[in-house]
Structure 1
Protein backbone atom coordinates (compact mmCIF):
# COMPACT_ATOMS: atom_id res chain seq x y z
CA UNK A 1 0.00 0.00 0.00
CA UNK A 2 1.33 3.42 -0.99
CA UNK A 3 2.03 5.71 1.96
CA UNK A 4 1.48 9.44 1.50
CA UNK A 5 1.56 12.52 3.71
CA UNK A 6 -0.57 15.06 1.86
CA UNK A 7 -3.53 12.78 1.21
CA UNK A 8 -5.02 9.85 3.04
CA UNK A 9 -7.47 8.23 0.59
CA UNK A 10 -8.32 5.44 2.99
CA UNK A 11 -9.30 7.88 5.70
CA UNK A 12 -11.28 9.98 3.23
CA UNK A 13 -13.17 6.89 2.05
CA UNK A 14 -13.83 5.82 5.64
CA UNK A 15 -15.07 9.32 6.50
CA UNK A 16 -17.36 9.35 3.48
CA UNK A 17 -18.80 5.96 4.41
CA UNK A 18 -19.21 7.10 8.01
CA UNK A 19 -21.17 10.17 6.86
CA UNK A 20 -23.38 7.99 4.67
CA UNK A 21 -23.92 5.53 7.51
CA UNK A 22 -24.82 8.34 9.94
CA UNK A 23 -27.38 9.65 7.45
CA UNK A 24 -28.86 6.17 7.14
CA UNK A 25 -28.88 5.82 10.92
CA UNK A 26 -30.65 9.18 11.32
CA UNK A 27 -33.25 8.24 8.70
CA UNK A 28 -33.86 4.88 10.34
CA UNK A 29 -34.31 6.51 13.74
CA UNK A 30 -36.77 9.01 12.18
CA UNK A 31 -38.81 6.19 10.63
CA UNK A 32 -39.01 4.37 13.96
CA UNK A 33 -39.86 7.58 15.86
CA UNK A 34 -42.65 8.58 13.47
CA UNK A 35 -43.80 5.07 12.60
CA UNK A 36 -43.67 6.03 8.93
CA UNK A 37 -41.34 5.03 6.16
CA UNK A 38 -42.39 8.09 4.13
CA UNK A 39 -41.74 11.28 6.08
CA UNK A 40 -41.09 13.60 3.15
CA UNK A 41 -41.55 13.62 -0.60
CA UNK A 42 -37.85 12.83 -0.96
CA UNK A 43 -38.45 9.42 0.64
CA UNK A 44 -40.99 8.37 -2.01
CA UNK A 45 -42.70 11.12 -4.01
CA UNK A 46 -45.08 8.78 -5.87
CA UNK A 47 -45.90 6.83 -2.72
CA UNK A 48 -46.64 10.02 -0.77
CA UNK A 49 -49.00 11.22 -3.50
CA UNK A 50 -50.93 7.96 -3.46
CA UNK A 51 -50.97 7.81 0.36
CA UNK A 52 -52.25 11.40 0.61
CA UNK A 53 -55.00 10.61 -1.88
CA UNK A 54 -56.02 7.55 0.12
CA UNK A 55 -56.00 9.62 3.31
CA UNK A 56 -58.32 12.22 1.74
CA UNK A 57 -60.68 9.50 0.55
CA UNK A 58 -60.77 7.80 3.96
CA UNK A 59 -61.43 11.13 5.73
CA UNK A 60 -64.29 11.86 3.32
CA UNK A 61 -65.69 8.37 3.90
CA UNK A 62 -65.45 8.96 7.66
CA UNK A 63 -67.50 12.15 7.34
CA UNK A 64 -70.06 10.35 5.18
CA UNK A 65 -70.34 7.66 7.86
CA UNK A 66 -70.94 10.35 10.49
CA UNK A 67 -73.63 11.92 8.32
CA UNK A 68 -75.35 8.58 7.84
CA UNK A 69 -75.14 7.91 11.60
CA UNK A 70 -76.87 11.24 12.17
CA UNK A 71 -79.56 10.17 9.71
CA UNK A 72 -79.97 6.86 11.54
CA UNK A 73 -80.46 8.80 14.78
CA UNK A 74 -83.11 10.89 13.04
CA UNK A 75 -85.00 7.80 11.86
CA UNK A 76 -84.75 6.20 15.30
CA UNK A 77 -86.12 9.34 16.95
CA UNK A 78 -88.96 9.58 14.44
CA UNK A 79 -89.79 5.88 14.68
CA UNK A 80 -89.92 6.02 18.48
CA UNK A 81 -92.33 8.96 18.38
CA UNK A 82 -94.51 7.32 15.72
CA UNK A 83 -94.62 4.20 17.87
CA UNK A 84 -96.01 6.26 20.76
CA UNK A 85 -98.59 7.80 18.44
CA UNK A 86 -99.61 4.33 17.23
CA UNK A 87 -100.14 3.19 20.81
CA UNK A 88 -102.32 6.24 21.50
CA UNK A 89 -104.36 5.64 18.33
CA UNK A 90 -105.01 2.04 19.29
CA UNK A 91 -106.12 3.14 22.74
CA UNK A 92 -108.43 5.76 21.18
CA UNK A 93 -109.87 3.12 18.84
CA UNK A 94 -110.58 0.82 21.77
CA UNK A 95 -112.50 3.63 23.43
CA UNK A 96 -114.36 4.39 20.18
CA UNK A 97 -115.39 0.73 19.87
CA UNK A 98 -116.60 0.86 23.46
CA UNK A 99 -118.58 4.03 22.72
CA UNK A 100 -120.11 2.50 19.60
CA UNK A 101 -121.48 -0.43 21.63
CA UNK A 102 -124.57 1.57 22.61
CA UNK A 103 -124.46 0.75 26.32
CA UNK A 104 -123.23 4.10 27.57
CA UNK A 105 -125.20 7.06 28.81
CA UNK A 106 -124.67 10.46 27.32
CA UNK A 107 -122.70 11.47 30.37
CA UNK A 108 -120.48 8.42 29.97
CA UNK A 109 -119.97 9.15 26.27
CA UNK A 110 -118.96 12.68 27.11
CA UNK A 111 -116.37 11.34 29.55
CA UNK A 112 -114.97 8.98 26.88
CA UNK A 113 -114.85 11.89 24.43
CA UNK A 114 -112.90 13.89 27.01
CA UNK A 115 -110.39 11.03 27.42
CA UNK A 116 -110.05 10.73 23.66
CA UNK A 117 -109.46 14.46 23.34
CA UNK A 118 -106.70 14.19 25.91
CA UNK A 119 -105.05 11.47 23.82
CA UNK A 120 -105.43 13.55 20.65
CA UNK A 121 -103.77 16.48 22.42
CA UNK A 122 -100.98 14.13 23.51
CA UNK A 123 -100.43 13.12 19.86
CA UNK A 124 -100.10 16.75 18.82
CA UNK A 125 -97.70 17.34 21.74
CA UNK A 126 -95.53 14.45 20.54
CA UNK A 127 -95.46 15.96 17.06
CA UNK A 128 -94.55 19.38 18.48
CA UNK A 129 -91.67 18.05 20.60
CA UNK A 130 -90.15 15.41 18.32
CA UNK A 131 -87.08 17.08 16.86
CA UNK A 132 -83.44 16.49 16.04
CA UNK A 133 -80.86 19.25 16.19
CA UNK A 134 -83.59 21.88 16.17
CA UNK A 135 -85.51 20.34 13.25
CA UNK A 136 -89.05 19.13 13.85
CA UNK A 137 -89.41 15.64 12.40
CA UNK A 138 -93.16 14.99 12.34
CA UNK A 139 -94.78 18.27 11.32
CA UNK A 140 -94.55 17.44 7.60
CA UNK A 141 -91.83 19.97 6.79
CA UNK A 142 -88.80 17.74 7.42
CA UNK A 143 -86.84 16.89 4.29
CA UNK A 144 -83.18 15.83 4.29
CA UNK A 145 -81.48 14.72 1.09
CA UNK A 146 -84.75 13.44 -0.33
CA UNK A 147 -85.83 11.75 2.91
CA UNK A 148 -89.08 13.22 4.22
CA UNK A 149 -91.59 12.26 6.92
CA UNK A 150 -95.30 12.90 6.56
CA UNK A 151 -97.12 15.04 9.09
CA UNK A 152 -98.52 13.20 12.11
CA UNK A 153 -100.69 16.05 13.41
CA UNK A 154 -104.23 14.96 14.23
CA UNK A 155 -105.51 17.58 11.80
CA UNK A 156 -103.75 15.79 8.92
CA UNK A 157 -104.43 12.15 9.83
CA UNK A 158 -107.57 10.88 8.12
CA UNK A 159 -109.16 12.19 4.93
CA UNK A 160 -111.88 14.40 3.55
CA UNK A 161 -114.11 11.32 3.12
CA UNK A 162 -113.69 9.85 6.62
CA UNK A 163 -112.96 13.09 8.42
CA UNK A 164 -109.77 14.01 10.22
CA UNK A 165 -108.57 12.68 13.54
CA UNK A 166 -108.81 16.06 15.25
CA UNK A 167 -112.54 16.20 14.52
CA UNK A 168 -113.73 12.80 15.75
CA UNK A 169 -116.71 12.85 18.07
CA UNK A 170 -117.99 9.62 19.61
CA UNK A 171 -120.83 11.18 21.61
CA UNK A 172 -123.35 9.97 19.01
CA UNK A 173 -123.70 6.49 17.43
CA UNK A 174 -123.06 7.94 13.98
CA UNK A 175 -120.05 9.86 15.22
CA UNK A 176 -118.62 6.76 16.90
CA UNK A 177 -118.90 4.72 13.67
CA UNK A 178 -117.31 7.47 11.63
CA UNK A 179 -114.58 7.81 14.24
CA UNK A 180 -113.70 4.13 13.72
CA UNK A 181 -113.25 4.70 10.00
CA UNK A 182 -111.09 7.73 10.67
CA UNK A 183 -109.01 5.87 13.25
CA UNK A 184 -108.46 2.87 10.96
CA UNK A 185 -107.21 5.17 8.24
CA UNK A 186 -105.04 7.15 10.68
CA UNK A 187 -103.47 3.99 12.07
CA UNK A 188 -102.75 2.84 8.51
CA UNK A 189 -101.21 6.23 7.63
CA UNK A 190 -98.95 6.22 10.67
CA UNK A 191 -98.03 2.61 9.94
CA UNK A 192 -97.01 3.48 6.39
CA UNK A 193 -95.07 6.43 7.73
CA UNK A 194 -93.19 4.13 10.11
CA UNK A 195 -92.53 1.63 7.32
CA UNK A 196 -90.99 4.37 5.21
CA UNK A 197 -88.85 5.53 8.12
CA UNK A 198 -87.76 1.95 8.85
CA UNK A 199 -86.85 1.27 5.21
CA UNK A 200 -84.82 4.47 5.11
CA UNK A 201 -83.04 3.51 8.32
CA UNK A 202 -82.13 0.11 6.85
CA UNK A 203 -80.74 1.83 3.77
CA UNK A 204 -78.65 4.17 5.90
CA UNK A 205 -77.33 1.23 7.92
CA UNK A 206 -76.39 -0.59 4.72
CA UNK A 207 -74.62 2.53 3.44
CA UNK A 208 -72.69 2.79 6.71
CA UNK A 209 -71.56 -0.84 6.47
CA UNK A 210 -70.43 -0.41 2.87
CA UNK A 211 -68.60 2.84 3.62
CA UNK A 212 -66.95 1.32 6.69
CA UNK A 213 -65.58 -1.56 4.61
CA UNK A 214 -64.35 0.85 1.95
CA UNK A 215 -62.71 3.10 4.55
CA UNK A 216 -60.97 0.18 6.24
CA UNK A 217 -59.54 -0.88 2.87
CA UNK A 218 -58.40 2.67 2.13
CA UNK A 219 -56.71 3.00 5.51
CA UNK A 220 -55.04 -0.39 5.10
CA UNK A 221 -53.75 0.60 1.66
CA UNK A 222 -52.42 3.90 3.01
CA UNK A 223 -50.74 2.10 5.90
CA UNK A 224 -49.10 -0.36 3.50
CA UNK A 225 -47.57 2.57 1.60
CA UNK A 226 -46.81 5.03 4.40
CA UNK A 227 -46.21 3.08 7.62
CA UNK A 228 -42.95 1.44 8.56
CA UNK A 229 -42.49 -2.21 9.49
CA UNK A 230 -40.98 -1.76 12.97
CA UNK A 231 -39.43 -5.24 13.05
CA UNK A 232 -37.77 -4.77 9.67
CA UNK A 233 -36.67 -1.24 10.53
CA UNK A 234 -35.15 -2.44 13.81
CA UNK A 235 -32.96 -4.82 11.83
CA UNK A 236 -31.91 -1.96 9.53
CA UNK A 237 -31.17 0.24 12.55
CA UNK A 238 -28.90 -2.42 14.05
CA UNK A 239 -27.15 -2.82 10.71
CA UNK A 240 -26.58 0.94 10.56
CA UNK A 241 -25.13 0.91 14.07
CA UNK A 242 -22.74 -1.92 13.17
CA UNK A 243 -21.69 -0.16 9.97
CA UNK A 244 -21.12 3.07 11.88
CA UNK A 245 -18.91 1.29 14.40
CA UNK A 246 -17.01 -0.42 11.56
CA UNK A 247 -16.54 2.89 9.74
CA UNK A 248 -15.28 4.59 12.88
CA UNK A 249 -12.85 1.74 13.43
CA UNK A 250 -11.63 1.96 9.80
CA UNK A 251 -11.26 5.75 10.06
CA UNK A 252 -9.27 5.45 13.28
CA UNK A 253 -7.01 2.81 11.76
CA UNK A 254 -6.37 4.99 8.68
CA UNK A 255 -5.47 7.93 10.88
CA UNK A 256 -3.20 5.69 12.96
CA UNK A 257 -1.37 4.64 9.80
CA UNK A 258 -0.84 8.31 8.84
CA UNK A 259 0.39 9.12 12.32
CA UNK A 260 2.80 6.19 12.26
CA UNK A 261 4.26 7.47 8.97
CA UNK A 262 4.84 10.88 10.54
CA UNK A 263 6.47 9.22 13.54
CA UNK A 264 8.78 7.28 11.27
CA UNK A 265 9.92 10.50 9.58
CA UNK A 266 10.54 12.04 12.97
Structure 2
Protein backbone atom coordinates (compact mmCIF):
# COMPACT_ATOMS: atom_id res chain seq x y z
CA UNK A 1 0.00 0.00 0.00
CA UNK A 2 1.26 3.51 -0.85
CA UNK A 3 0.41 6.82 0.80
CA UNK A 4 2.41 9.37 -1.25
CA UNK A 5 0.10 8.93 -4.24
CA UNK A 6 -3.57 8.16 -3.69
CA UNK A 7 -4.49 6.75 -7.06
CA UNK A 8 -8.07 6.04 -6.06
CA UNK A 9 -8.58 9.61 -4.90
CA UNK A 10 -7.02 11.04 -8.07
CA UNK A 11 -9.23 8.86 -10.24
CA UNK A 12 -12.32 9.92 -8.29
CA UNK A 13 -11.29 13.61 -8.53
CA UNK A 14 -10.82 13.36 -12.30
CA UNK A 15 -14.24 11.79 -12.69
CA UNK A 16 -15.74 14.46 -10.41
CA UNK A 17 -14.18 17.26 -12.46
CA UNK A 18 -15.55 15.80 -15.70
CA UNK A 19 -18.96 15.45 -14.11
CA UNK A 20 -18.78 19.05 -12.86
CA UNK A 21 -18.03 20.31 -16.37
CA UNK A 22 -20.90 18.31 -17.77
CA UNK A 23 -23.17 19.63 -15.03
CA UNK A 24 -22.10 23.23 -15.75
CA UNK A 25 -22.83 22.73 -19.44
CA UNK A 26 -26.23 21.30 -18.64
CA UNK A 27 -27.05 24.28 -16.41
CA UNK A 28 -25.95 26.65 -19.19
CA UNK A 29 -28.29 24.99 -21.65
CA UNK A 30 -31.19 25.05 -19.20
CA UNK A 31 -30.62 28.73 -18.36
CA UNK A 32 -30.22 29.93 -21.97
CA UNK A 33 -32.69 27.58 -23.62
CA UNK A 34 -30.09 26.76 -26.26
CA UNK A 35 -28.46 23.42 -26.93
CA UNK A 36 -25.62 25.16 -28.78
CA UNK A 37 -24.13 28.08 -26.87
CA UNK A 38 -20.64 27.92 -28.38
CA UNK A 39 -18.92 26.22 -31.25
CA UNK A 40 -17.53 23.52 -28.96
CA UNK A 41 -21.05 22.33 -28.18
CA UNK A 42 -21.68 21.29 -31.81
CA UNK A 43 -19.46 22.88 -34.47
CA UNK A 44 -21.34 21.57 -37.52
CA UNK A 45 -24.71 22.20 -35.89
CA UNK A 46 -23.69 25.79 -35.11
CA UNK A 47 -22.67 26.40 -38.73
CA UNK A 48 -26.00 25.09 -40.03
CA UNK A 49 -28.03 26.96 -37.40
CA UNK A 50 -26.24 30.23 -38.11
CA UNK A 51 -26.89 29.83 -41.82
CA UNK A 52 -30.56 29.20 -41.13
CA UNK A 53 -30.68 32.25 -38.87
CA UNK A 54 -29.19 34.40 -41.63
CA UNK A 55 -31.76 33.01 -44.04
CA UNK A 56 -34.58 33.76 -41.61
CA UNK A 57 -33.32 37.33 -41.15
CA UNK A 58 -33.12 37.84 -44.91
CA UNK A 59 -36.62 36.47 -45.40
CA UNK A 60 -37.95 38.79 -42.68
CA UNK A 61 -36.43 41.77 -44.46
CA UNK A 62 -37.98 40.55 -47.70
CA UNK A 63 -41.36 40.48 -45.95
CA UNK A 64 -40.79 44.03 -44.70
CA UNK A 65 -39.86 45.11 -48.23
CA UNK A 66 -43.04 43.52 -49.55
CA UNK A 67 -45.24 45.24 -46.98
CA UNK A 68 -43.63 48.58 -47.79
CA UNK A 69 -44.15 47.91 -51.49
CA UNK A 70 -47.85 47.25 -50.91
CA UNK A 71 -48.15 50.59 -49.12
CA UNK A 72 -46.35 52.36 -51.98
CA UNK A 73 -48.57 50.74 -54.60
CA UNK A 74 -51.70 51.66 -52.66
CA UNK A 75 -50.59 55.29 -52.58
CA UNK A 76 -50.05 55.27 -56.34
CA UNK A 77 -53.41 53.60 -56.97
CA UNK A 78 -55.34 56.03 -54.76
CA UNK A 79 -53.74 58.99 -56.50
CA UNK A 80 -54.57 57.59 -59.93
CA UNK A 81 -58.12 56.94 -58.77
CA UNK A 82 -58.46 60.67 -58.16
CA UNK A 83 -56.93 61.36 -61.57
CA UNK A 84 -59.53 59.03 -63.05
CA UNK A 85 -62.28 61.12 -61.45
CA UNK A 86 -60.69 64.24 -62.93
CA UNK A 87 -60.61 62.78 -66.44
CA UNK A 88 -64.23 61.64 -66.10
CA UNK A 89 -65.20 65.21 -65.19
CA UNK A 90 -63.15 66.64 -68.06
CA UNK A 91 -64.91 64.28 -70.48
CA UNK A 92 -68.31 65.39 -69.19
CA UNK A 93 -67.40 69.07 -69.57
CA UNK A 94 -66.16 68.49 -73.12
CA UNK A 95 -69.51 66.92 -73.97
CA UNK A 96 -71.22 69.94 -72.42
CA UNK A 97 -69.06 72.28 -74.50
CA UNK A 98 -69.84 70.39 -77.72
CA UNK A 99 -73.48 71.34 -77.95
CA UNK A 100 -75.36 74.27 -79.45
CA UNK A 101 -77.09 75.06 -76.16
CA UNK A 102 -73.76 76.18 -74.68
CA UNK A 103 -72.76 79.76 -75.53
CA UNK A 104 -69.28 81.08 -76.18
CA UNK A 105 -69.24 82.50 -72.66
CA UNK A 106 -70.31 79.12 -71.34
CA UNK A 107 -67.53 77.35 -73.24
CA UNK A 108 -65.03 79.88 -71.88
CA UNK A 109 -66.21 79.04 -68.36
CA UNK A 110 -65.93 75.35 -69.18
CA UNK A 111 -62.40 75.93 -70.48
CA UNK A 112 -61.48 77.50 -67.14
CA UNK A 113 -62.80 74.44 -65.33
CA UNK A 114 -60.91 72.08 -67.65
CA UNK A 115 -57.68 74.08 -67.21
CA UNK A 116 -58.00 73.88 -63.42
CA UNK A 117 -58.81 70.18 -63.52
CA UNK A 118 -55.84 69.36 -65.74
CA UNK A 119 -53.63 71.54 -63.57
CA UNK A 120 -54.71 69.47 -60.57
CA UNK A 121 -54.06 66.29 -62.55
CA UNK A 122 -50.47 67.49 -63.03
CA UNK A 123 -50.22 68.45 -59.35
CA UNK A 124 -51.24 64.94 -58.31
CA UNK A 125 -48.62 63.44 -60.63
CA UNK A 126 -45.99 65.78 -59.20
CA UNK A 127 -46.86 65.38 -55.53
CA UNK A 128 -47.47 61.63 -55.32
CA UNK A 129 -44.38 60.06 -53.79
CA UNK A 130 -43.23 57.49 -51.25
CA UNK A 131 -40.31 58.47 -49.06
CA UNK A 132 -39.18 60.93 -51.72
CA UNK A 133 -39.57 58.52 -54.61
CA UNK A 134 -41.86 59.95 -57.29
CA UNK A 135 -44.48 57.41 -58.30
CA UNK A 136 -46.41 58.91 -61.22
CA UNK A 137 -43.71 60.87 -63.04
CA UNK A 138 -40.10 61.91 -62.71
CA UNK A 139 -38.32 65.18 -63.28
CA UNK A 140 -39.74 68.66 -62.82
CA UNK A 141 -43.50 68.95 -62.77
CA UNK A 142 -45.03 72.36 -63.26
CA UNK A 143 -48.64 73.28 -62.69
CA UNK A 144 -48.57 75.35 -65.84
CA UNK A 145 -46.74 73.21 -68.38
CA UNK A 146 -47.28 74.70 -71.79
CA UNK A 147 -46.82 73.30 -75.26
CA UNK A 148 -43.54 75.21 -75.64
CA UNK A 149 -41.99 74.15 -72.33
CA UNK A 150 -38.57 72.57 -72.76
CA UNK A 151 -38.24 71.49 -69.10
CA UNK A 152 -41.10 69.06 -68.84
CA UNK A 153 -41.61 66.21 -66.40
CA UNK A 154 -40.70 62.83 -67.80
CA UNK A 155 -41.93 59.30 -67.23
CA UNK A 156 -41.30 57.62 -63.91
CA UNK A 157 -39.14 54.56 -64.46
CA UNK A 158 -40.65 51.28 -63.36
CA UNK A 159 -40.04 50.50 -59.70
CA UNK A 160 -38.26 47.35 -58.56
CA UNK A 161 -38.93 45.61 -55.25
CA UNK A 162 -36.79 42.81 -53.79
CA UNK A 163 -39.33 40.60 -52.07
CA UNK A 164 -37.22 37.62 -51.03
CA UNK A 165 -33.74 36.67 -49.89
CA UNK A 166 -32.20 36.27 -53.36
CA UNK A 167 -31.01 39.06 -55.63
CA UNK A 168 -33.24 37.65 -58.36
CA UNK A 169 -36.39 37.80 -56.20
CA UNK A 170 -37.53 41.01 -57.87
CA UNK A 171 -40.99 42.34 -58.68
CA UNK A 172 -41.22 45.27 -61.09
CA UNK A 173 -43.78 47.82 -62.22
CA UNK A 174 -44.07 49.40 -65.63
CA UNK A 175 -43.10 52.95 -66.55
CA UNK A 176 -45.73 55.52 -65.54
CA UNK A 177 -46.27 59.10 -66.74
CA UNK A 178 -49.63 60.12 -65.35
CA UNK A 179 -49.65 63.80 -66.35
CA UNK A 180 -51.02 65.81 -69.27
CA UNK A 181 -47.94 65.10 -71.34
CA UNK A 182 -48.06 61.38 -70.63
CA UNK A 183 -51.75 61.29 -71.49
CA UNK A 184 -51.21 63.36 -74.67
CA UNK A 185 -53.44 66.12 -73.31
CA UNK A 186 -50.89 68.93 -73.63
CA UNK A 187 -52.76 70.53 -76.54
CA UNK A 188 -56.08 70.40 -74.68
CA UNK A 189 -54.42 71.93 -71.60
CA UNK A 190 -52.87 74.69 -73.71
CA UNK A 191 -56.16 75.50 -75.49
CA UNK A 192 -58.09 75.51 -72.23
CA UNK A 193 -55.56 77.87 -70.62
CA UNK A 194 -55.63 80.16 -73.63
CA UNK A 195 -59.41 80.32 -73.70
CA UNK A 196 -59.63 80.71 -69.93
CA UNK A 197 -57.31 83.73 -70.04
CA UNK A 198 -59.13 85.45 -72.92
CA UNK A 199 -62.34 87.49 -73.08
CA UNK A 200 -65.48 86.00 -74.55
CA UNK A 201 -65.51 88.69 -77.26
CA UNK A 202 -62.26 87.44 -78.75
CA UNK A 203 -63.74 84.70 -80.93
CA UNK A 204 -60.34 83.39 -82.02
CA UNK A 205 -59.48 82.48 -78.46
CA UNK A 206 -62.82 80.97 -77.50
CA UNK A 207 -62.90 77.26 -76.63
CA UNK A 208 -64.84 76.09 -79.69
CA UNK A 209 -67.07 73.10 -80.24
CA UNK A 210 -64.49 71.73 -82.67
CA UNK A 211 -61.85 71.82 -79.94
CA UNK A 212 -64.22 70.12 -77.51
CA UNK A 213 -65.15 67.42 -80.01
CA UNK A 214 -61.56 66.56 -80.95
CA UNK A 215 -60.47 66.57 -77.31
CA UNK A 216 -63.05 63.94 -76.32
CA UNK A 217 -61.22 61.20 -78.17
CA UNK A 218 -57.95 62.25 -76.53
CA UNK A 219 -59.53 62.09 -73.10
CA UNK A 220 -60.92 58.63 -73.87
CA UNK A 221 -57.42 57.45 -74.77
CA UNK A 222 -56.05 59.09 -71.63
CA UNK A 223 -58.61 57.22 -69.51
CA UNK A 224 -57.62 53.96 -71.21
CA UNK A 225 -53.94 54.68 -70.55
CA UNK A 226 -54.65 55.53 -66.91
CA UNK A 227 -56.68 52.33 -66.47
CA UNK A 228 -53.70 50.43 -67.86
CA UNK A 229 -51.43 52.04 -65.27
CA UNK A 230 -53.85 51.17 -62.50
CA UNK A 231 -54.21 47.63 -63.78
CA UNK A 232 -50.44 47.14 -63.67
CA UNK A 233 -50.27 48.60 -60.15
CA UNK A 234 -53.10 46.34 -59.01
CA UNK A 235 -51.60 43.17 -60.48
CA UNK A 236 -48.20 44.07 -59.03
CA UNK A 237 -49.78 44.53 -55.60
CA UNK A 238 -51.42 41.11 -55.87
CA UNK A 239 -48.08 39.59 -56.84
CA UNK A 240 -46.30 41.25 -53.92
CA UNK A 241 -48.96 40.15 -51.42
CA UNK A 242 -48.70 36.58 -52.69
CA UNK A 243 -44.91 36.70 -52.37
CA UNK A 244 -45.20 38.02 -48.81
CA UNK A 245 -47.54 35.20 -47.81
CA UNK A 246 -45.12 32.66 -49.28
CA UNK A 247 -42.19 34.27 -47.44
CA UNK A 248 -44.08 34.15 -44.15
CA UNK A 249 -44.54 30.40 -44.61
CA UNK A 250 -40.85 30.03 -45.45
CA UNK A 251 -39.84 32.06 -42.41
CA UNK A 252 -41.87 29.81 -40.13
CA UNK A 253 -40.33 26.66 -41.59
CA UNK A 254 -36.77 28.03 -41.46
CA UNK A 255 -37.17 29.10 -37.83
CA UNK A 256 -38.55 25.67 -37.00
CA UNK A 257 -35.54 24.03 -38.66
CA UNK A 258 -33.16 26.28 -36.72
CA UNK A 259 -34.99 25.52 -33.48
CA UNK A 260 -34.53 21.79 -33.97
CA UNK A 261 -30.77 22.29 -34.20
CA UNK A 262 -30.11 25.16 -31.80
CA UNK A 263 -32.77 25.01 -29.07
CA UNK A 264 -32.53 22.71 -26.09
CA UNK A 265 -35.05 19.96 -25.34
CA UNK A 266 -35.94 20.81 -21.75
CA UNK A 267 -37.35 17.39 -20.95
CA UNK A 268 -34.22 15.64 -22.16
CA UNK A 269 -31.80 18.15 -20.66
CA UNK A 270 -33.60 18.19 -17.29
CA UNK A 271 -33.23 14.42 -17.11
CA UNK A 272 -29.57 14.73 -18.04
CA UNK A 273 -29.04 17.41 -15.39
CA UNK A 274 -30.61 15.26 -12.69
CA UNK A 275 -28.43 12.32 -13.72
CA UNK A 276 -25.25 14.40 -13.66
CA UNK A 277 -26.25 15.91 -10.32
CA UNK A 278 -26.60 12.45 -8.79
CA UNK A 279 -23.29 11.35 -10.31
CA UNK A 280 -21.64 14.49 -8.91
CA UNK A 281 -22.89 13.68 -5.41
CA UNK A 282 -21.73 10.09 -5.79
CA UNK A 283 -18.34 11.36 -6.94
CA UNK A 284 -17.97 13.47 -3.83
CA UNK A 285 -18.74 10.42 -1.71
CA UNK A 286 -16.20 8.37 -3.71
CA UNK A 287 -13.47 10.95 -3.07
CA UNK A 288 -14.19 10.90 0.66
CA UNK A 289 -14.02 7.09 0.67
CA UNK A 290 -10.75 7.06 -1.32
CA UNK A 291 -9.21 9.37 1.24
CA UNK A 292 -10.54 7.24 4.10
CA UNK A 293 -8.83 4.14 2.70
CA UNK A 294 -5.43 5.73 3.36
CA UNK A 295 -6.24 5.66 7.06
CA UNK A 296 -5.85 1.87 6.96
CA UNK A 297 -2.06 2.33 6.60
CA UNK A 298 -1.94 3.54 10.19
CA UNK A 299 -3.02 0.11 11.40
CA UNK A 300 0.09 -1.41 9.86
CA UNK A 301 2.23 0.99 11.87
CA UNK A 302 0.65 0.14 15.22
Fold shared per TM-score above 0.5: yes
Give 1:123 shift.
0.7
2:102 maps to 1:104: yes
Give 1:262 shift.
3.4
3-state SS, counterpart of residue 41 of structure 2 = coil
CA change 1:101–1:262 in 2 (3 A) is farther
Aligned residue runs from structure 1 range 149-228, under 5 A = 149-158=175-184, 164-167=187-190, 169=192, 171-228=207-264
2:272 maps to 1:236: yes
When the two chains are superposed, the root-mean-square deviation of aligned CA atoms in Å is: 2.3
What is the distance in 1 between the residues matched to 2:117 and 2:218? 15
Give 1:129 shift.
0.5
After superposition, what is the alpha-carbon deviation per residue over 1:160-188, rounded to whole angstroms, capped at 9, x for unaligned? xxx75534649322222222212111111
Q: Unpaired runs of 5+ in structure 2? A: 138-154, 161-171, 193-205
What TM-score do you get using the length of structure 2 for normalisation?
0.78
| Residue of structure 1 equivalent to 2:294 | 258
Quick check: which one's helix share is greater?
Answer: 1
- Counterpart of 1:65 (choices 63, 66, 78) is 63
What is the distance in 1 between the residues matched to 2:292 and 2:42? 41
Could you list the structure 1 runs, at least 4 aligned residues long, displaced by more than 6 angstroms after superposition: none
Give 1:251 shift.
1.4
What TM-score do you get using the length of structure 1 for normalisation?
0.88
Q: Unpaired runs of 5+ in structure 1? A: none
| Residue of structure 2 equivalent to 1:29 | 27
| Residue of structure 1 equivalent to 2:144 | none
